[in-house]
Amino acid sequence: MTIKERKQPGDHTVDKDSDLKSLVLFNDPVNTFDFVVKTLIEVCGHDVYQAETCTWIAHFKGKCVVKKGTLSSLQPCCDEMTFRKLTVEIQ
């Protein structure tokens, strides 16, 4: 049995998950595997295993969510990865 909470008029609670965004890395035919792995380690703070996994996912599926967070926390990563000529987007 689930319990549903009744909301009162004017009750504006913010869903914390709605503020979360995703930094998505797209596959491209230009950048090398090693360059993408190195960038994910340096910019996103991934360990080697996580960076390689994300790179393989982007390679085979066309895209991969490499980081989640607020817009303000993802923007510097997005800017740096774009500066390094990777194709990324915040969704």
Architecture of domain 25-90: 2-Layer Sandwich (3.30)
Q: Cβ distance 63 to 25 under 8 Å? A: yes
Question: Given pLDDT bands bounded at 50, 70 and 90, which one contains residue 19?
Answer: confident
Contacts of 31 by beta carbon, 8 Å cutoff, 6+ apart:
85, 86
Which tens digits make up the pLDDT trace of 33-61?
999 999 999 999 999 999 999 999 999 99
Tell me, yes or no, if the pTM score tops 0.85: no
State residue 33's pLDDT score.
96
Task: Show me where the domains of the chain are located.
Answer: 25-90
User: What's the pLDDT score for residue 14?
Assistant: 46
Q: Name the phi and psi angles at 44, rounded to 5.
A: -95, -10
- The pLDDT > 90 percentage for the chain reads 79
Rg (CA), the chain: 17
Q: Identity (one letter) of the amino acid at 4?
A: K
**Percentage of the chain lying above the pLDDT 70 cut:** 80
